[in-house]
C-alpha cells in the first residue's frame, strides 16, 4: 500500500517539476501554501538553489520578499542579528507581516536584549535536570498510548499518537488542566493556519476571535499563579520573572502561541513524518529493524528530512549584500529551512532519507544563533523514546494512504495519516 501512494505522490512531484522549470523564475512565489499541501514544492526550491539562490519575488502573496534557499546563505542570515531583525513590529518571523492591528510580540520575534531576557526566563523548563524527569514521564505516556492502539485496524496516527503524546507533554509543561489539553492542539492549529489561502478553513476574524479565547483562558491561569509560590511550569516562570511579569496581554498571547506551537507542532509532525519516511524507504526500515541503535542517528535525520518549520523570516535593518544581491533596508528576507536542508552542495545525497548518515545533525531545522530552538533536546528525546517503544512492540507499522498535509507554508506538517499495525 505504501508503494502505491508513494507512486502517486512521485507522479505529482514530477508533474510539478515541468511547471517549476518552465515558468519565469521571477514569478516563483514559495509562500503559496497549496504547494505544501500537495508536496510539490521540491522542484521549485531545487531551481531556486541552482539559478537564483537569493531570489527576489516582486509580486508575492504577501508583498515583495527575498527567498534564501541555500544552506550557507541561510546560516549567514540566521547568525547576523545586527543586520537581520526578527522584531514583531517590523513584520515578525513569518513571510506574511503581522497585522498592524493584531501584533503579537514574542521572544523569538524580538531582538536583543529583550529577546535574551525572556528566553532565559523560560529556558529552565528544558534544563538537564528537568529533561531527566520529563524523560521518565514521556516514556510512561508513550507506553500507555501504544498499548492501547488497535491491531489490524486502520487508525489515524496523527490523532492517536503524534497529537496525543505531544499535547500531553505540553499540558505538563504549562501545568494546564488535563481535561482541556486538546484546546492546546486546537489553538496551535488555529495559529498556524493560512487564512489568506483561497480555500482557507477560517477567516482572519474567526482566527483572531479564537486566539482571544486562548488569551482569556490563559489569563485565568496567570491570575491563579501570580498569587502562588514560584513553580516549575512555564506560566509560573513567566509570572515570577521580572522580564515577563509585566507583559501586556498581546505580548503574553504572543509568547503563549510561540510556546504552544513550538512545544507541540514541530515534534508531532516529526513523529508522523518519521513513520511516513520509513514506509517510503523500506530499505531504511529494514536497517532499523536489524539495528535499533540506529535510532540515535535516525532522529536528527527525521528532523532534517521533515523540516517542521518550512521557513523563518527576517527584516533587513540596513542595506546589505547577500549572495551577490543588494538587499535594501526594510526588505523582508525569508530563510527557507526546508530548502537548505536539501542543499546538495552542503549535504551529501540531500534528497535521500538515510538513517545512518555520518553527520545527521547537519541540518537547519532548529535554526542558528540566538533564536536556535530552545526545546531542541526535548524534541529529540521525545522522538527517541517513541521509536524505542515502537520497536519493542512491532516490526512494522504500515502507512495505508497518502497523508493529508497542513495548509501552511510555515508549519510543514500533517492533519491525518491512516496506518495499520499488522498482527
Domains recognised in the chain with CATH numbers: 2-420 (1.10.630.10)
Confidence (pLDDT) at 180: 97
54-57 vs 65-68, strand pairing mode: antiparallel
pLDDT of residue 142: 96
The pLDDT, as a whole number, for residue 345 is 96
Cell of 306: 521533515
pLDDT digits (tens, 9 = 90+) for 95-110: 999 988 898 988 887 8
pLDDT of residue 375: 87
Contact criterion met (CB below 8 Å) for 418 and 42: no
Whose grid coordinates read 496525543? 164
Rounded Cα distance between 88 and 351, Å, is: 34
Number of helical H runs and strand E runs in the chain: 17, 12
DSSP for 170-218, written as a single string? HHHHHT--GGGTHHHHHHHHHHHS-TTSTT-SS-HHHHHHHHHHHHHHH
pLDDT at site 2: 54
Length of the chain in terms of residues written:
423
Supply the pTM of this predicted model: 0.95
**How far from each other are the two terminal CA atoms of the chain, in whole angstroms?**
16
**Cis peptide bond N-terminal to 330, omega within 30:** no
What is the pLDDT at residue 311? 97
Sign of the CA dihedral running 48, 49, 52, 58? positive
Closest by alpha carbon to 259, among 104, 421, 46? 104
In this predicted structure, what is the pLDDT of residue 115?
84
314 neighbors 327 (Cβ within 8 angstroms): no
Q: Determine the pLDDT at residue 298.
A: 98
Give every residue of the chain whose pLDDT is below 70, as ranges.
1-3
Distance from C-alpha of 314 to C-alpha of 369, rounded to nearest angstrom: 13
User: Which alpha helices (DSSP H) does 355-422 contain, by range?
Assistant: 376-393
pLDDT of residue 181: 95
Q: How does DSSP assign 74-91, residue by residue? A: HHHHHT-TTTEE--GGGT
Sequence-ordered list of residues with C-beta below 8 angstroms from that of 362, at least 6 positions apart, any chain: 304, 346, 347
For residue 320, list its beta bridge partners.
327
Q: What span, in angstroms and rounded, lies between the C-alpha atoms of 65 and 49?
A: 16
Amino acid at each position: 500500500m505504501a508503494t502505491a501512494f508513494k507512486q502517486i505522490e512521485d507522479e505529482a512531484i514530477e508533474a510539478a517539476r515541468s511547471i517549476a522549470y518552465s515558468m519565469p523564475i521571477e514569478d516563483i512565489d514559495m509562500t503559496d501554501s497549496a504547494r505544501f499541501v500537495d508536496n510539490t514544492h521540491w522542484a521549485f526550491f531545487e531551481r531556486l538553489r541552482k539559478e537564483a539562490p537569493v531570489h527576489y519575488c516582486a509580486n508575492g502573496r504577501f508583498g515583495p520578499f527575498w527567498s534564501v534557499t541555500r544552506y550557507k546563505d541561510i546560516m549567514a542570515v540566521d547568525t547576523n542579528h545586527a543586520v537581520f531583525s526578527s522584531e514583531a513590529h517590523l513584520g515578525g518571523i513569518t513571510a506574511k507581516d503581522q497585522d498592524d492591528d493584531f501584533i503579537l510580540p514574542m521572544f523569538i520575534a524580538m531582538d536583543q536584549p529583550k529577546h535574551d531576557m525572556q528566553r532565559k526566563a523560560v529556558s529552565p523548563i528544558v534544563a538537564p535536570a528537568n529533561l531527566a524527569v520529563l524523560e521518565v514521564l514521556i516514556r510512561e505516556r508513550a507506553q500507555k498510548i501504544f498499548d492501547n492502539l488497535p491491531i489490524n485496524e486502520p487508525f489515524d496516527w496523527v490523532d492517536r499518537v503524534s497529537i496525543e503524546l505531544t499535547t500531553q507533554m505540553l499540558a505538563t509543561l504549562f501545568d494546564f488542566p488535563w481535561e482541556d489539553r486538546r484546546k492546546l492542539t486546537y489553538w496551535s492549529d488555529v495559529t498556524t493556519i493560512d487564512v489568506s489561502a483561497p480555500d482557507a478553513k477560517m477567516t482572519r476574524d474567526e482566527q483572531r476571535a479564537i486566539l482571544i479565547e486562548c488569551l482569556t483562558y490563559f489569563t485565568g491561569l496567570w491570575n491563579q499563579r501570580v498569587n502562588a509560590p514560584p513553580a516549575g511550569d512555564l506560566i509560573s516562570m513567566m509570572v515570577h520573572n521580572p522580564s515577563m511579569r509585566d507583559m501586556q496581554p498581546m505580548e503574553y498571547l504572543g509568547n503563549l502561541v510561540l510556546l504552544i506551537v513550538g512545544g507541540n507542532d514541530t515534534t508531532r509532525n516529526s513523529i508522523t513524518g518519521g513513520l511516513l519516511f520509513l514506509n517510503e524507504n523500506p530499505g531504511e526500515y529494514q536497517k532499523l529493524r536489524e539495528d535499533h541503535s540506529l535510532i540515535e542517528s535516525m532522529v536528527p535525520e527525521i528532523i532534517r528530512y521533515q523540516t517542521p518549520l518550512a521557513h523563518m523570516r527576517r527584516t533587513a535593518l540596513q542595506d546589505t549584500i547577500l549572495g551577490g544581491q543588494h538587499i535594501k533596508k526594510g526588505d523582508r528576507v525569508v530563510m527557507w529551512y526546508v530548502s537548505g536542508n536539501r542543499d546538495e552542495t552542503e549535504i551529501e545525497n540531500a534528497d535521500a532519507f538515510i538513517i545512518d548518515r555520518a553527520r545527521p545533525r547537519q541540518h537547519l531545522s532548529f535554526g542558528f544563533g540566538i533564536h536556535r530552538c530552545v526545546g531542541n533536546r526535548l524534541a529529540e528525546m521525545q522522538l527517541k523514546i517513541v521509536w524505542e517503544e515502537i520497536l519493542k512492540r512491532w516490526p512494522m507499522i504500515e502507512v495505508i494512504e497518502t497523508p493529508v498535509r497542513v495548509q501552511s507554508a510555515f508549519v510543514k506538517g500533517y492533519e491525518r495519516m491512516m496506518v495499520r499495525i499488522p498482527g
